[in-house]
């Protein structure tokens, strides 16, 4: 197991290095000049030159990358050009918000998508199957921004049940924090639930045809036991893979949803950074997001070993 984890970590290092090179070089191709943005409306040439020297914007791109990567290796992701705050501090402030939203959205997705997928597979060709597929297709087709706006109009404006926007830390006011997160988590979770439902249904349909499932039924076991203990457990592997990738996607920040509900997470942070040419923040957030994807893939691989004894014996 430790050898496997070590191999995965060795693969992660060059992957992060390649990601860092791409994000550093590609964002330099964006139109605009951060020095002009920071100089303000007057754009004094001396101020612009001072900004260029301070943030090494006059150096060749290779020198800039080497200087930035040297800081990354020591845990320094640079300083925001816009707020003059350390990027690590900005990420530390926004990451808990995004993690909370991602966890709540995944809970919504799993509570809706997995049971719906199981029922759809067990009741294949029946009314439940058609209803589940219709709901899944609707979830995939409805844009998140439209659903978010409709929920705000109905739940917040018309009914007054929940706040329309804003965010409160769960460590400051847990109740208020959940109230502000329920609607955006539902908006994100319904789209993910549709994807989970389709994959769960496909995985279950394949497993329900297996010989060991027919054997379990022939023994007279209860149908619920057959479906949950024998079929669903063996169908979990592709679901775990998909769940890890979807969670990693949520960690990248749901830009539109965070903008609609005014949630100060990764999505809003990177949008503001792109518009203000805040290179250090963009680089730091993308690198952190890539590390999150790799971490979730590693967790998914470790879960394989817990769910599939054959993979443990293969080591």
CA-CA distances (angstroms) from residue 253 to 94, 130, 271, 276, 290?
10, 32, 10, 18, 12
With CA atoms as reference, report the closest residue to 186 among 225, 155, 213. 155
Q: Does 2 have pLDDT greater than 80?
A: no
**Average pLDDT for 151-163:** 84
- Please give the Cα distance from 4 to 19 (Å, whole number): 23
The rounded percent of the chain whose pLDDT value lies above 90 is: 0
- Please give the Cα distance from 35 to 278 (Å, whole number): 10
Residue 298 is classified by DSSP as: H
Give φ, ψ of 74 to 5 degrees.
-100, 10
- Please give the Cα distance from 315 to 302 (Å, whole number): 12
- Please give the Cα distance from 128 to 116 (Å, whole number): 9
pLDDT tens digits, one per residue of 169-205 = 888 888 888 888 888 888 888 888 888 888 888 888 8
Of 306 and 114, the structure prediction assigns the larger pLDDT to 114
With CA atoms as reference, report the closest residue to 292 among 71, 57, 88, 99. 99
Mean pLDDT of the residues in the chain = 80
The rounded percent of the chain whose pLDDT value lies above 70 is: 91
pLDDT tens digits, one per residue of 228-267 = 777 887 788 778 878 887 887 787 657 778 878 888 888 7
- Please give the Cα distance from 281 to 87 (Å, whole number): 6
Q: Does 19 have pLDDT greater than 80?
A: yes
| pTM, full prediction | 0.79
pLDDT tens digits, one per residue of 51-87 = 777 777 777 778 888 888 888 888 888 888 777 788 8
CATH code for residues 94-268: 1.10.3720.10
- Please give the Cα distance from 255 to 272 (Å, whole number): 11
Place of tokens 């109230």: 179
Place of tokens 């967790």: 299
Instruction: Name the band, by pLDDT with cuts 50, 70 and 90, for residue 309.
Output: low
């Amino acid at each position: 197991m430790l050898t496997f984890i070590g191999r995965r970590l060795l693969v992660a290092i060059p992957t992060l290095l390649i990601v860092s090179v791409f994000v550093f070089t590609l964002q330099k191709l964006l139109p605009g000049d951060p020095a002009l943005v920071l100089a303000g409306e007057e754009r004094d040439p001396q101020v612009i030159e001072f900004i260029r020297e301070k943030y090494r914007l006059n150096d060749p791109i290779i020198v800039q990358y080497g200087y930035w990567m040297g800081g990354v290796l020591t845990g320094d992701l640079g300083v925001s050009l816009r707020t003059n705050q350390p990027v690590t501090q900005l990420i530390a402030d926004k990451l808990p918000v995004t993690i909370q939203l991602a966890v709540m959205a995944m809970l919504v997705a799993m509570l809706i998508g997995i049971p719906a997928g199981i029922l759809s597979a067990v009741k294949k060709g029946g009314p439940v199957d058609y209803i589940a597929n219709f709901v899944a297709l609707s979830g995939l087709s409805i844009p998140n921004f439209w659903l978010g706006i409709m929920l705000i109009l109905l739940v917040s404006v018309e009914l007054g049940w929940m706040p329309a926007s804003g965010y409160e830390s769960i460590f400051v006011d847990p109740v208020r924090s959940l109230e502000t997160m329920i609607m955006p988590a539902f908006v994100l979770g319904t789209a993910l639930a549709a994807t989970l439902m389709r994959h769960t249904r496909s995985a279950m349909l394949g497993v329900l045809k297996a010989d060991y499932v027919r054997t379990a039924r022939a023994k007279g076991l209860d149908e619920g036991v057959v479906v949950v203990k024998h079929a669903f457990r063996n169908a979990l592997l592709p679901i775990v893979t998909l769940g890890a990738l979807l969670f990693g996607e949520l960690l990248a920040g749901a830009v539109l949803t965070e903008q609609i509900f005014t949630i100060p997470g990764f999505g809003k942070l990177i949008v503001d950074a792109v518009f203000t040419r805040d290179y250090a923040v963009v680089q730091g957030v993308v690198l952190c997001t890539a590390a999150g994807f790799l971490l979730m893939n590693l967790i998914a691989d470790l879960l394989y070993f817990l769910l599939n004894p054959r993979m443990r014996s293969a080591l």
